[in-house]
Amino acid sequence: MAPDVRGASLTALAAGVVAKTWKSRDLVEAYLERIARLDKQLGCFLLVDGDGARKKADAIDKKIAVGESVGPLAGVPIGLKDIFVTRGIETTAGSKILKGFIPPYESTASGRLAAAGAISLGKINMDEFAMGSSNENSAFHPVHNPWDLERVPGGSSGGSAAAVAASLCAGTLGTDTGGSIRQPASLCGVVGIKPTYGRVSRYGVIAFASSLDHPGPFGRTVEDAAALLEVIAGHDPMDSTSIPQPAGRYRAASKAGLAGLRVGVPKEYFQAGMDPEVEAAVRAALDELARAGATLVPVSLPHTQYAIATYYLICTAEASSNLARYDGVRYGHRTADAGSLEELYSKTRGEGFGNEPKRRIILGTYVLRAGYYEAYYGKALRVRRLIANDFTAAFSQCDVLATPTSPTPAFKLGERSADPLQMYLADIYTVAPPLAGVPALSQCCGFTKSGLPIGLQTIGPPLGEEAVFRVAGAYEARTDWHKRLPEDKS
Amino acid sequence: MPRINPEEVREIAALARLRLDETEVERMTHELDGILGYIETVKNLATDDVLPMTHAVPFDCPMRPDEPGQSLTVDEALQNAPRRREGSFEVPRIVPGTGGA
């Protein structure tokens, strides 16, 4: 029997596959039908691998039929942000410069999902090289928000968030450098977590800003996100910044309740500029946490106002170095005619990169330049430590922090794309956690009068994912926001 | 006074090996001026006694035994190359010589 996958949770679907209530193949067909019907309007997928998914599903079903053991995500269809390299399957990072790139190896995170039995339906749209907050920077096409097709899903993992919201797959992977998992999760009303830096391997994740890039999952429920993180987290010898400790028990934490936890409320995250409906919903969520048994503690993160500037100094510097590898020699686009090596590089890059990567390469090269380095990049590294110290001080008074994720609900396509600075400023509540490397989760905590989701962000200390999941799971158990679904618009 | 001018943008683009057309230079000069103006907010913060932080989590340099492992074959490494020749990546001539282009 095929279940109705609209609104279904990944953990429930996996349990049904193992219990033989339905087959993995049924799930794959159900999601492929939804993608065929709904994704023309949404634009979530860059590549759908239907045949590959069917084959893998049949293999899982066969294993189950003969009583072989299968992994914890057996047979559930998922999607991968197109920044995770996938062996034999085109991977573009949303950029024309990588169009046609067929990786000869597999990212650790996507490989671990496959080993756990999850089935990838394909590659998901994103802002080019994960640079953006609206998904409008995809070199191929924008993604539309399932709650209102005229609005953006957020970015850069906008396709990953929208695909879960619209039930085009049961869960997805994304990456977060300055908010690229949490902000789209907020704008699409789903759960997304950026774990501690180094908790999930970056091996095979196309690099944007290496000291800030965090792979992580999206789920419909807190437990779904926990189940995915449990599989992808853990040490990886292929990533020298990978944390050696074993992964935590996130699923159990999501059901453990939050009694006795102290929830810090940083005053700097409740200041002018926030949409009044967002503020009201987040304050109501804080009251709910208090009713659930948490103690609310006022705290301060005094360097918050410097986080966006610090973030853009560091991420552009790192991006300008990381993106130097796209030169038309080893992979990707190569200009048609170049007389010299120098010309091959500069023409290939000028033709292949879109506006946002170009802007960030120029800004990053500028701040790293001899004579400017200490004033810009060197300064940013020092301010980064002050921002991280703020979190250390706050976590001496509380176990987690609770804040809004985004100062506004989803905005309209085109509304901010003409003004990059305006777009950068929207990251105000999400850029500090990656600078400090601390885990942070976004989940739905209400809707505006016009029906747009609002996000609550829970931030933990380094390796404090379990405390974050306790809070998020307890909040979800007491509220129904996560059960609301966007209408199918075909 | 603008913080950056078109001549500087052209210079940086050359350093970054990134060809920009004149419309792009003009637009980027204007946008970067705004962004640099905002970014300068960090300049007033006193940080003389603060150590730079390059990574969020402190790492010891991880070591492993120096043993050969599996890696890509030459064919795999070359499979995405836009132009390849005799098991190598092909680029325009770097050093003047007598061989083919």
Does A81 score more than 90 pLDDT?
yes
Residue A119 lies inside a defined structural domain of this protein: yes
Model pLDDT, residue A235: 96
pTM above 0.80, yes or no: yes
- Whole-number Å distance between alpha carbons of B91 and B101: 9
Query: Which architecture characterizes domain B6-44 according to CATH?
Result: Orthogonal Bundle (1.10)
Q: Which residues of B touch A386 (CB under 8 A)?
A: 45, 47, 50
Does B98 score more than 70 pLDDT?
no
* Contact yes or no for B18 and A353 at CB 8 A: yes
Model pLDDT, residue A258: 96
Give the E-state strand segments of A190-283 in sequence order: 191-194, 214-219, 262-266
A276-291 and A465-477 are packed helices; what angle lies between their axes, rounded to 10 degrees?
Answer: 100
- Four-CA torsion A128, A425, A445, A155, nearest 10 degrees: 0
Stretch A430-451: mean pLDDT, rounded? 98
Q: Which residues of B touch A97 (CB under 8 A)?
A: none
Residue A374 lies inside a defined structural domain of this protein: no
Q: Which of B32, B89, B92 sits opposite A363 (nearest CB)?
A: B32
Q: Which residues of B touch A330 (CB under 8 A)?
A: 77, 80-81, 89
pLDDT tier for residue A1 given thresholds of 50, 70 and 90: low
State yes or no: is A81 an active-site residue: yes
**Model confidence pLDDT, tens digit, residues A144-194:** 999 999 999 999 999 999 999 999 999 999 999 999 999 999 999 999 999
Which residue, among A312, A347, A421, A463, would best test binding to B if mutated, counting the most B CBs under 10 Å from its CB?
Answer: A421
Q: Which of A198, A331, A369 sits opposite B80 (nearest CB)?
A: A331
CB A37 within 8 A of CB A175: no
Residues facing residue A194 across a β-bridge: A440
| Least Cα separation, residue B62 to chain A (angstroms) | 6
Give the E-state strand segments of chain B in sequence order: 84-85, 88-89
Stretch A85-103: mean pLDDT, rounded? 98
Residue A325 lies inside a defined structural domain of this protein: no
Model pLDDT, residue B99: 55
Stretch (H or E) spanning A123: strand A119-124
User: For chain B, what are the domain ranges?
Assistant: 6-44
Handedness of CA A38, A44, A49, A53 (dihedral sign): negative
A10-18 and A24-42 are packed helices; what angle lies between their axes, rounded to 10 degrees?
Answer: 150
CB A105 within 8 A of CB A89: no
Share of chain A above pLDDT 70, in %: 100
- CATH code, domain carrying A67: 3.90.1300.10
DSSP letter string, A414-428:
TSSTT-HHHHHHTTT
Stretch A441-458: mean pLDDT, rounded? 98
pLDDT tier for residue A417 given thresholds of 50, 70 and 90: confident
Does B100 score more than 80 pLDDT?
no
ipTM of the complex: 0.93
Does A2 score more than 80 pLDDT?
no
State yes or no: is A156 an active-site residue: yes
Model pLDDT, residue B101: 46
Instruction: Look at strands A214-219 and A262-266 and give their pairing.
Output: unpaired
* Contact yes or no for B80 and A104 at CB 8 A: yes
Closest CA to A89 of A77, A104, A78: A104
Domain count, chain A: 1
Model pLDDT, residue A238: 94
Model pLDDT, residue A354: 98
- Whole-number Å distance between alpha carbons of A163 and A66: 33
Closest CA to A131 of A216, A53, A201, A206: A206
For chain A, the average pLDDT equals: 97
Closest CA to A190 of A487, A490, A484: A484
| Least Cα separation, residue B23 to chain A (angstroms) | 12
Residue A228 lies inside a defined structural domain of this protein: yes
Structural domain span for residue A208: 10-302+389-483
Tell whether A89 is within 8 A of chain B (Cβ): no
**Model confidence pLDDT, tens digit, residues A425-440:** 889 999 999 999 999 9
